[in-house]
């Protein structure tokens, strides 16, 4: 089906042209019968509250979301995870270097209080690294479904936020040299979500697979709702 305004080819279910924003009118009654979105907009059965103040693209997205909910596809979990202890490998290696270097340096100051200070520093160093690991492991949890990405943050006070996959714009991940050895890394999700326009997921195990899964899932969700990825 073509837009009468600009001649652009649009999908059959579209109500507005994704290029110029013009309203697409069907040429037959069959379209009205098979497309509940178009039928609602032509006959005024959709909720028109505030529609006059919204752009055609926003009204199109809402209509597509309504059609998706009407389809009744169940939501199911595709992946769950959190901060991996492997992501702290570089910190542990640095702590080991310090642990061996301090006693060697203490040989040059053979005094009792120096060795007590070295022992205290080493103990505090490893206690700190352990507390960081526990805090990161307990404070974050992520869950990917076929419709949303859910992230939870906090230990004593947990805050749960959700990002609709249709709002996701881009997925990237990065790894350091040591991270590549153990296949962990950081994932960055860029989206239209107001509270988290760019969400950072640190310490994700098997990061390449997880990033690819999120990317494939949000693209599949957009196709399922009948929207073109490049035009949002």
Separation of alpha carbons 121 and 175, rounded Å? 30
Residues linked to residue 170 through DSSP beta bridges, in sequence order: 190
User: Could you tell me the sign of the dihedral formed by the alpha carbons of 118, 120, 123, 124, in that order?
Assistant: negative
Model pLDDT, residue 221: 85
- Read off the pLDDT of residues 53-103 as tens digits, 9 standing for 90 and up: 666 666 666 665 665 554 556 888 999 999 999 999 999 999 999 999 888
**Contact predicate 5/18, CB 8 Å:** no
- For residue range 121-167, what is the model confidence (pLDDT) as tens digits? 999 999 999 999 999 999 999 999 999 999 999 888 889 999 999 89
Q: Are 196 and 179 in contact (CB under 8 A)?
A: no
CA angle at 15 for the pair 62 and 2, rounded to the nearest 5°: 145
140 closest CA partner among 160, 113, 125: 160
Q: What is the pLDDT of residue 121?
A: 93
At 106, is the pLDDT very low, low, confident or very high (cuts 50, 70, 90)? confident
Residue 107 has a pLDDT of 76
| Res. 21: pLDDT tops 80 | no
pLDDT above 90 (res 14): no
Q: How confident is the model at residue 223 (pLDDT cuts 50, 70, 90)?
A: confident
How many CB atoms neighbour CB 184 within 10 A?
A: 23
């Amino acid at each position: 089906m073509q837009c009468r305004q600009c001649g652009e080819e649009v999908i059959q279910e579209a109500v507005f042209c994704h290029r110029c924003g013009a309203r697409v009118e069907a040429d037959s009654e069959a379209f009205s019968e098979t497309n509940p979105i178009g039928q609602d907009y032509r006959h005024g059965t959709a909720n028109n509250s505030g529609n006059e103040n919204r752009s055609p693209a926003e009204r199109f997205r809402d209509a597509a979301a309504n059609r998706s909910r009407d389809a009744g596809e169940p939501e199911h979990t595709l992946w769950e995870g959190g901060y991996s202890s492997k992501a702290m490998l570089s910190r542990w290696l640095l702590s080991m270097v310090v642990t061996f270097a301090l006693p060697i340096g203490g040989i040059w100051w053979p005094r009792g209080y120096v060795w007590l200070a070295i022992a205290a520093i080493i103990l505090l160093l490893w206690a700190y690294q352990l507390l960081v690991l526990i805090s990161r492991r307990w404070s974050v949890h992520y869950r990917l479904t076929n419709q949303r990405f859910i992230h939870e943050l906090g230990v004593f006070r947990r805050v749960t936020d959700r990002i609709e996959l249709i709002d996701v714009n881009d997925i990237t991940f990065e790894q350091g040299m040591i991270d590549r050895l153990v296949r962990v890394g950081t994932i960055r999700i860029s989206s239209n979500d107001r509270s988290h326009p760019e969400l950072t997921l640190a310490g994700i195990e098997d990061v390449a697979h997880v990033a690819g899964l999120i990317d494939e899932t949000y693209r599949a969700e957009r196709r399922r709702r009948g929207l073109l990825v490049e035009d949002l």
